[in-house]
Structure 1
Amino acid sequence: MRVLLIEDEDHIREIAQLSLESVAGWETRQASGGHEGLALAASEHPDAILLDVMMPDLDGPGTLARLRADPATADIPVVFLTAKTRTSERQELQELGAAGVIKKPFDPMSLAAQVAEILGWTL
């Protein structure tokens, strides 16, 4: 599986990449913001995208809207990463078209299992 991580915080991207590659053996690519992530999603067409909600310039919901508007990326499942923990906030994110929501901080040892469960993948 190929996963694109779109996250503005370097350390979170690094931890997520190490987790997904070492625990699940998935290939990962990284983007530090929404615009870079859109370009990589269109050129790489990953199997899934992990997308931070709060980023400068182009936030997660804005990035998701652009992904859905582009026929080349419209069908890529997106899982939001967020520090927002209220049920209503998580529900709003899923209503935007996300496959699911994972709370930050996440457990690096269970991140791949959480993503797999949301997307119906087997590890």
Structure 2
Amino acid sequence: MRILHAEDDEFIRELVNLSLVEIGGFELLQCSDGPSAIAAVEVYDPDLLLLDYNMPGMTGAEALLKIRRKAGFETTPSIFLTALDDDGMKNCLLKLGALKVIPKPVDFMELPSLIEKALLRKN
């Protein structure tokens, strides 16, 4: 499975990389912001978008909406990994089509199984 991850915090990107690549066995491309993720999506052709909500310049939700406008990516599954653990925000992201909103801090040892469970519920 190919995951495109957008996160502005370098330390979180490193932890997600260790978690998803080393523990989960996923393929992973990481971007530091929304515009980079939008540019990378067509080249990388991910099976899943893993997005932070709160990034400078463009939120993860804005990036998701722009990605969804690209042909072939209208239904690409998405999960948000975010420090914003607010029910209103969570409901908004789920209404945008996110499979799951995972609050930070997260146990990075469990992140691969959280992603797999969310994908199984989708199918």
1:114 equivalent to 2:114? Answer yes
More displaced, 45-54 or 75-84?
75-84
Q: TM-score, normalised by structure 1?
A: 0.92
Give distance in 2, aligned partners of 1:38 and 1:72: 13
Alignment partners' CA distance in 1, 2:4 and 2:59: 16
CA distance in 2, matches of 1:10, 1:64: 20
What are the residue-to-residue correspondences of 1:65-104 with 2, within 5 Å? Answer: 65-104=65-104
Q: CA RMSD in A?
A: 1.3
Unpaired stretches in structure 1, ≥5 consecutive residues:
none
Match of residue 63 from structure 1:
63
Distance apart, 1:2 and its partner CA: 1.0
Alpha-carbon deviation of 1:73?
2.1
Question: For residues 63-97 of structure 1, what are the alpha-carbon distances to aligned partners after superposition, in whole Å with 9 as ceiling and x for unaligned?
Answer: 01101111132221110111122323211110112
SS of the equivalent of 2:18 reads helix
CA distance in 1 between counterparts of 2:8 and 2:85 reads: 19
Q: TM-score, normalised by structure 2?
A: 0.92
State whether residues 80 and 102 of structure 1, in contact with CA within 8 Å, keep that contact through their aligned partners in structure 2. yes
* C-alpha distance in structure 1 between counterparts of 2:103 and 2:41, whole Å: 23
Counterpart AA for 2:95: E
Runs of 4+ in 1 over 3 A off after TM superposition: none
Q: Give, as a single letter, the amino acid of the residue that structure 1 aligns with 2:36.
A: E
Cα deviation, residue 49, structure 1: 1.1
